[in-house]
Amino acid sequence: MLRTDFAYDLPPDLIAQEPRERGKSRMMVVHQDGIEHDSFANFPERLNAGDILVINDTRVIPARLFAKPKSGMSRPIEILLTRQLDGGAWEAWCKPAKRVKPGDELIFSEVLRARVLRKDEGTITLQFDGDIEEIERIGIPPLPPYIARETPRDEDRESYQTVYAAERGAIAAPTAGLHFTREILDRIAARGVDIVRITLHVGIGTFKPVKVDDVAQHQMDYERYEITADAASRLNAALDDKTTIIAVGTTSVRTLESAIRAGDGRFQSGSAETNIFITPGFQFRAVDKLLTNFHLPESTLLMLVSAFAGIGTIRRAYSEAISHRYFFYSYGDCMFLDERIR
């Protein structure tokens, strides 16, 4: 399977630059035999009593930081935190990387600094010293590069965060969750749908571009996830009862499919890391339906949804989304994949 099998042309003006009003985005509903056009405001009515709706409650940290310039440098050192490691250290991207070496101290403010523990190809490892909460005060939300901002906006701290975000650790939002309001969540619960929270801290693994021609040669980076004992119990009961499990976002899919494999057919609770790579031919064991946004060409996310609904189905859906001028990517509209390939 080739990377170019997942290519498509998107008019630049369909890349959403501003967030949709929560609860009001357009929603394409995709079945194996057809497509409907709807509003996310009607999403609760697409669910049935007894269904399980799984949401990723990770919280985006303002992971873009600037350290004071070193001697001889005219501009600050830019740091993008990418993954938290055991012991509190962080992997990070650094620019300009050539001016940073192991043992250097990076000063972010009067109360926060970090030491460079090591430097690998493309990344550095940092150990922070001081008030870690300072990151929340001085950091900048790491919006993806296709959202053009000459200067950061304070509003993005809220708009690039789900209303149910709780567990800090992501460097990007689980964007399918951005459509929800608390009122819509209440309506879903009132229909008798069980809303289950899991956590996957979105990192570079989700967005790392595929650079090899043969998709099978691509390696995903690890991301940390957690499923509580209560969540695992409710999910396993759903398996026993053959209840429909609906994932909100590709990160929820990757968490659920990782956890069910770790438990050999049962959802295993606890904290772990996953680099699961889902491509066409993958045998889904956990997820029955999927709410997701429209993804970048040749991305691992597009490969995942193509595995879920079928390459041909997704090609038709994306072509129709472009012709109907849906907005794409993080701040864009959404699609509800109402059934997967069996």
What is the per-residue pLDDT across 97-155, written as a single tens digit (0 to 9) for each? 888 899 999 999 999 999 999 998 778 999 999 999 999 999 998 888 899 877 778 88
Query: Which pTM does this prediction carry?
Result: 0.93
Q: What is the pLDDT of residues 240-299, one digit of tens each?
A: 999 999 999 999 999 999 999 999 999 999 999 999 999 999 999 999 999 999 999 999
CATH assignment of 3-60+157-337, among 3.40.225.10, 3.10.420.10, 3.40.1780.10, 1.10.3720.10: 3.40.1780.10
The pLDDT > 90 percentage for the chain reads 83
pLDDT tier at 203, thresholds 50, 70, 90: confident
Question: What strands, in cross-sheet order, belong to the sheet with 64-67?
Answer: 64-67, 77-84, 90-95, 123-130, 112-120, 105-109
Residues 126, 84: Cα–Cα separation, whole Å: 10
Q: Which amino acid is at 3?
A: R
Q: What is the pLDDT of residue 142?
A: 87
Pairing of strands 194-200, 123-130: unpaired
Q: What is the pLDDT of residues 303-337, one digit of tens each?
A: 999 999 999 999 999 999 999 999 999 999 999 99
What residue spans define the domains of the chain?
3-60+157-337, 64-138
Residues 118, 134: Cα–Cα separation, whole Å: 23
For 37, residues 6+ apart whose C-beta sits below 8 A from its C-beta are 26, 27, 28, 29, 324
- Please say if the pLDDT value at position 73 is more than 70: no
- Please say if the pLDDT value at position 205 is more than 90: no
Q: What is the pLDDT of residues 167-186, one digit of tens each?
A: 999 999 999 999 999 999 99
- Class of CATH domain 64-138: mainly beta
Is there a contact between 247 and 227 (Cβ–Cβ < 8 Å)? no
- Output Rg (C-alpha) for the chain, integer angstroms: 20
Q: What is the pLDDT of residue 228?
A: 98
Pairing of strands 289-293, 245-248: parallel
Residues 184, 43: Cα–Cα separation, whole Å: 8
pLDDT tier at 72, thresholds 50, 70, 90: low
The separation between CA 134 and the C-alpha centre of its own chain, rounded to angstroms, equals 24
Q: What is the pLDDT of residue 166?
A: 97
Of 27-31, 97-101, 218-222, the one with minimum mean pLDDT is 97-101
Q: What is the pLDDT of residue 307?
A: 98
Tell me the average pLDDT across 78-84. Answer: 91
